[in-house]
Amino acid sequence: MTTTVTLTGTGVPHPDAARAGAGVLISCDDIHLQVDAGRSTTMRLAQAGVGPHELAALLITHLHSDHVTDVADLVLTRWVQDHLHRTGPLPVVAPDGRAPAFVANLLDAFAYDVEVRVRHVQEGPPEVAGHWFATPDVPKEVWRSSCGRVVAEAVRVRHEPVEDAVAYRVTTPDGVVVVSGDTRVCDEVADLARGADVVVHEACRASALADAVRGTRFETIFSYHADTVALGEMAQRIGIPHLVLTHLIPAPRTPEQEAEYEEDLRRGGYRGRVTVGRDLAVVTVGGPA
């Protein structure tokens, strides 16, 4: 078996042709888990050679728009193609609370399209198989593949004022992958990530840009994202062997700017392997970047 991690989107709410909205694909042979589905996720999956019909589940970390704008596209595309693949509704795993209502209302804007397609082509309306869980304060299993080879756990993270934000820990026969979602550096993610082989973590150059953003709205935004220096300290303290940075604030435009992210981690004391994320970058669990 081989487990791979593909960054389907490394961007933020501001559009960037090189960086789709937040998303991470974890694949173990024929089991594909998509974590979050920001802008253009469906297209990035196509570039990665994975269709919506091949997803075992979509795991949602939280309901910020840049993490969920492409959920509708995944659901509708899977539905339109169901006559070819017969894979049925998309399983969506997310914290209980506001997620069920979000999913229930997801396709309201497409009511006419659904009506026309059902009348002429489709056998029935699109459906989502919701798997909701109470947001746990300690890691808890929230999903398991039918074969039992792949397990996902979740824990609450610190992304206030957003409610019910979580990180995921995915265990496969090859190793462990943790995806932080959006959060400041916190003990909850540290505990979840202990013993992981690869940690995909959001990254914000808050320390480096503190003077530039002081007194602006960005100072508030930075307060609930993960400072790269603090992230480096945490990653070294708990022994993360490979740290993959995504949701990059600000988006690096040059190799020199990418290097600044790694320099921040080193300033925090981190000595492990670093991948500064680009869309469609692939990491093999237990193997080279």
The 3 state secondary structure assigned to 76-142 is: HHHHHCHHHHCCCCEEEEEECCCHHHHHHCCCHHHHHHHHHHHHHCCCCCCCEEEEEECCCCCCEEE
Instruction: Give CA 241 to chain center in angstroms.
Output: 20
Query: Is 95 inside any structural domain?
Result: yes
Give residue-wise pLDDT tens across range 25-73.
999 999 999 999 999 999 999 999 999 999 999 999 999 999 999 999 9
Q: Provide mean pLDDT across the span 231-240.
A: 98
pLDDT band at 1 (very low <50, low <70, confident <90, very high): low
- Give the C-alpha separation, 36 to 61, whole Å: 6
Mean pLDDT taken over the chain = 95
Catalytic residue among 36, 66, 227, 264: 66
Give residue-wise pLDDT tens across range 248-257.
999 999 999 9
Query: Is 155 inside any structural domain?
Result: yes
This model's pTM is above 0.75: yes
Query: Is 51 inside any structural domain?
Result: yes
Q: Provide the pLDDT for residue 287.
A: 53
- Give the C-alpha separation, 246 to 70, whole Å: 18
pLDDT band at 21 (very low <50, low <70, confident <90, very high): very high
Q: Is 231 exposed, middle or buried (0-12, 13-18, 19+ CB in 10 A)?
A: buried
Q: Does residue 66 carry a catalytic annotation?
A: yes
Beta bridge partners of residue 167, listed in sequence order: 155
The total domain count for the chain is 1
Query: Is 203 inside any structural domain?
Result: yes
Query: Is 177 inside any structural domain?
Result: yes
Q: Is the pLDDT higher at 165 or at 83? A: 165
Query: Is 259 inside any structural domain?
Result: yes
Instruction: Give CA 57 to chain center in angstroms.
Output: 12
Q: Provide the pLDDT for residue 289.
A: 45
Query: Is 289 inside any structural domain?
Result: no
Q: Provide mean pLDDT across the span 7-34.
A: 96
Task: Look up the CATH number of the domain holding residue 165.
Answer: 3.60.15.10
> Encoding tokens for residue 232?
């480096």
- Give the C-alpha separation, 67 to 181, whole Å: 9
Tell me the CA end-to-end span of the chain in Å, nearest whole number: 17
For residue 225, what are the domain limits? 3-284
Give residue-wise pLDDT tens across range 167-198.
999 999 999 999 999 999 999 999 999 999 99
Q: Provide mean pLDDT across the span 138-155.
A: 97
> Encoding tokens for residue 56?
């075992």
